[in-house]
Amino acid sequence: MNIKTGKELLNFIEDRTKNKYERKYVNHFYKKIKNEKFSYVFYGIRRIGKTTMCFQILNKFISNKELKIDEIIFLDIELELSLGNKSEIIKQKFFELFKSNKFKLVFFDEIQLLENWDMFIKSLNDHFPNVKIISSGSSSYNLKEKESGLGRFIKVNIQPLMLNEFISIRKEEIKDFSKKEIIHFYLKETSFFELWSIKDEDFRKRYMLDILEKTIIYDLNFIVNRSFTPSYMKQIIREIALSETGELNFEKIRSKLSIPKTTFYEYLNIMENIGVIRILERYNGNLILSKRGPNKYYLSLPFFYNLYFNLDHTFHIGKIYESLFLMHLNYKYNLENLKRKIFYIKDKEEIDFYIPSENIGFELKSKNIEFNNLYLRLSSSGLVNLKTLNIDDLFDFII
């Protein structure tokens, strides 16, 4: 197997972390991995920085002299499979290697590509309880579906570079920008570091489209082990991007694609689980006594809207702001507690976001206008702690 350890791994870590921004995730999870017995699986959309983050965690163990480089091992699952090694062969060889009891920390990259990956980690935990295990995975579909490792490892959804982090890196360029200008600059520059030095807009679009297509075509078909029609998924993503309200005309889209209703809903569910869209359900608790309404749909990363719009000249900008805010809400409330969920409220009028566990709602406004009747009714009754945010308020809240 193409395993890296010792001097080779040290050079590899240095190469992958040199001049790379260290997110606060790194120190946070370094301490957790150091002090806890759980294994960690970090997942998220491609190119978001999961692998770099894991190497930065390894680097902390080395620089703080918690572990020697010979006690750490790295295995790239995607590379092993591309070399023709089968999942069972990889597992067998790895167990044989571990019998030496030499290693104390192992890092698997692209763990979701390994067949029955969760049982493999569980088995490693059972046989080598003193070995710390961290893994990365590009797609959340398999990570969400598997539960046999429950209690043995913790799954963490790694979010893209947040606005406050972006500001700290690019502060010299934006020091004279207004809050709105900073937000637009952030949206256009994206969280993908590789694009920051690229000015060719066509190249930037091809790069982001490649991320979507690899997630849909490669990750999904490999993991689920059944065929899907990528062109259908790309068309649904386009319809979501072009929807000003976030709601979809299902019948119109299904008619255009000629697919059954059950298949259409399955596609939506899968695309949410692989991390390319976010589905916002209408709240149907005791707060609003109405029939269950339609869901709202957003692209998972607001940067993907660059594929369809010029952000400075589009009447869809309100929807893009909502996608940006939703991404930051997920970061703020869901990092450690994935049971917290975000909804929207609608009863003739609408509240954009509602978090029942916090009893807080948010209404985004592109400019200062009067509160709507629903907002006033809920706020005055004390049922919800509501906040209305214009573009400057949005900026202040998410940083």
What is the pLDDT averaged over residues 315-344? 80
Domains, the chain, in order of start with CATH, read 4-157 (3.40.50.300), 163-398 (no CATH)
Q: What percentage of the chain reaches a pLDDT higher than 90?
A: 47
What is the pLDDT averaged over residues 211-223? 77
Band the pLDDT of 392: cuts 50, 70, 90: very high
Alpha-carbon torsion 347, 349, 354, 360, what sign?
A: negative
Summarised one tens digit per residue, pLDDT across range 44-70 is 888 889 999 999 999 999 999 999 999
Residue 380 has pLDDT above 60, yes or no: no
Residue 256 has pLDDT above 90, yes or no: no
pTM: 0.87
Rounded to 10°, the helix 24-35/50-63 angle is: 60
Residue 95 and residue 124: Cα distance in Å, rounded? 8
Pairwise pLDDT comparison (223 vs 240), residue with the higher score: 240
